[in-house]
Structure 1
C-alpha cells in the first residue's frame, strides 16, 4: 500500500492541524465550566470543591510546559505531540470514568500534562517552518484559535452536556487528540537537524533565554495582555449573569459573538504583516487602544449606573487589540531565541497561562456583585503591565548592542 502524501506546511490541512494543536490546552479549561455543578452533584461533593479541577489542570499544564519545551528542542516536535496526545486521551477517559473527587482530580492533572505537549509544539513549529511576515501571519492564526476557543468552548460544553451529561464533555479533547494522532504520520519533523540542548543543559538554556531582554519583554507583554483578556472573559460572566441578570443562554450568545473581534484583530494583523508594517508599531497601537478602553470602562464603573453597553464595547475592543498584540509579541519572543524555539515557546505559553490565571482570580475575588469595577481595574492593570514590559524591555533590546543572541535568520537583530 503506497504511503500517503505528506501534509505540506502551506496547505489548509496543515493550518487545520495547527488550529487543533493550539486549541487542545484551552479545551480543558473552558469546556467543563457549564458542567461543574452537575459533576459535583454526581460525585457527591460541594460545587466549590470542583474549583480544584481547574487548578490541578492548570498546574499540570504549566509544569509540563517547562519540560516539553527543552525536550522537544532535543528530540523533536513530533514526540512531544504524540506523547501529549496519548496522555490527554488517558486523562480524558479517566475523567469520564471517575466516580470520586480524587479520581477526577488525578485525571484532570493528566489531561493538563498531556495538553501541554501539543500546545507548546505549535509555537515551535511555526518558528521552525516560517520566517518574517509569513511567521507573523501564521502566529496570528494560532493566537486567533487560542483566544476564540475560550469563547465558544463553554457553549459547546453545554451542548454536549445536554446530549449526554457531564461525562460526554471529555469526549471533545479525546476526539481532537485522536485526530491529531491520525494526522501525525503525514507530518514531517520540523526541528532543524542540529539537536538542541542536552538534558544537562536545560537549566542553562532557560537562564540564557530569560537573560535576553527582547525575549523577556515580548513574553511578559503577551502574558500581561492575556491577563487583560481573561479579566473580561471571567468578569463578563459575573457582570452579565450575576449583576445584570442575563440568562446563561443569552450571555453565551453575547460572549460567543465577541469572538468576532479577536478574529478581526488577527485578520487585520495578517494584512499589516503582509504590507510590511513594523511589529513594534502594531503592538504599540494595540496596547494604546486596549488601555484607553479599559480606562473608559473603569470610569464608567465608578461614575455611572451599571450597564451592559460599555462592557460589550470594552469586550469587543479588547479582543481586537489582543488580536494585534499577541501574535507579534509571541513572534518576537520566539525570534529572540532561534536556537531553542521549543524552550522559548514553552516559557511564553507558561507565562501566558500564569497571567490569565492571576487575572481571572483577581476579578472573581474583587467582584462587588453589581458592577464591572473589578473587571475594568484588572483589565487596566494588565494593559499597563504590558506597556511597561514592552517599553522597558523590548524597545531597549531592539538596539543591536543590547541583543545577547545572534542575528535572526534574515540578518536582523532582535
Structure 2
C-alpha cells in the first residue's frame, strides 16, 4: 500500500465508469478501495475488467444490500480502520453515492484530504438521498472538482473557498466516447434485442422516488407499455424487486424487461434509440454525448445543464410524462438539431485535468507511520496549492463570479 497513496474510494458501477480514466492516469499511485455497495460480483468484475482496471487493492465485504443508514455506518467504520492503517496522501470520491459520503467522512476523521469529483451538483430536493450525500461531502472536501460553472456557483454560494474549486468538465464524456461501440458492434447489440435504429425506446428506472411508490411505478410502467414503439427496460435489482412485489412484471404492451446491461451494450442501445426515458443521473450526462433526447422521470434534477441545452426534459409519471413522450416522439427534426449541440459537460479532458491537479496538490511523500497511533495530529500536513490546470484545459478553472455561464 505504501506506493499506492491516492485512494480512489468507489462502490458502484457508475463510479467505476467515471473514475477509470483517472485511475489509469494516476498510475502506480492509485489505490482502488471497493466498498461493494453494488454487490453483483459478475457485473462488478466485468466493469473492472472492461475498463482495464486491476482487482481492488482493498475490499469491504457484506455492505451491499444493507439499509442506507447501516450501510453508510459500516462503510465509515471499515474505511476509517483502513485509512488509519494505511494513510493515503488523499482520498478521492465521486458523485453522490453512499460510498462517496462514507469515504469522505472516513477520510476526514482520519485526517486525510478529500478530493470530490463531480462536486457542486444540487437538486435542492431534500427528499433525495443523493442530495443529502452531496451536502455531507461539500464541507469536508479539500479539492472540489466541479463539472460545470453552475456546479461551481453552488459551492461558492455555500461558502467554499474559490481556490479549492476546479472546473473540470465531467469524466463521463471521455468514458462515453471511449466505451461507445463502433457501428458494426452496435448493430449486433440491437439485433440481439430485436430492434432497429430509431424504432424503439430505452428506459431505466431505479430511483426510490419511482420504485418505492407502487402506484407511481405502476403508472410509469403502464405509460411505457402503452406506447406504439417497443420499450427496452434493463431491470435494476431494486426495480425488479419492487415490480415483482407489486405484480407489475407482466404489464405487457410494448414494454420489454431485459437483463442488466454492460456499459458498452447500454451505450449502443442508447445511441440508436428514438428516445431515452430514465431517472438516472449518468444518463442525463451521457445523452449529451450521444446526442439523444431524454425524458427525465423525476421530481427534480441536479443536472439542469442537460435541460437547458435541449437534451433532457423533466417530467413526472402521469400527464407530464404523457405530454413529453407525445411531443418528443412527434418531432422529426429533434435528433438532427441535437447533433449540432455541444455537450455542456466538456470536451473529454476532465480526467486529465483532475489528475494534473491531484498530482500537483498532493505530491508523493515517504510512507507515513502505520496504525491508529500515527493519528492525524502526528502526520505531516499535505501542502495545499492553488489549483492550476494544464495549459489549454477546458474550462477556466479559477471561479471568481457567482454568475452562471452555462
TM bucket normalised to smaller: under 0.3
Q: Which has the higher strand share?
A: 2
Compute the TM-score of the two structures, normalised by the length of structure 1. 0.25
Compute the TM-score of the two structures, normalised by the length of structure 2. 0.25
Indicate the structure whose relative CO is greater, using CA pairs within 8 Å and at least 6 residues apart.
1
Q: Which has the higher helix share?
A: 1
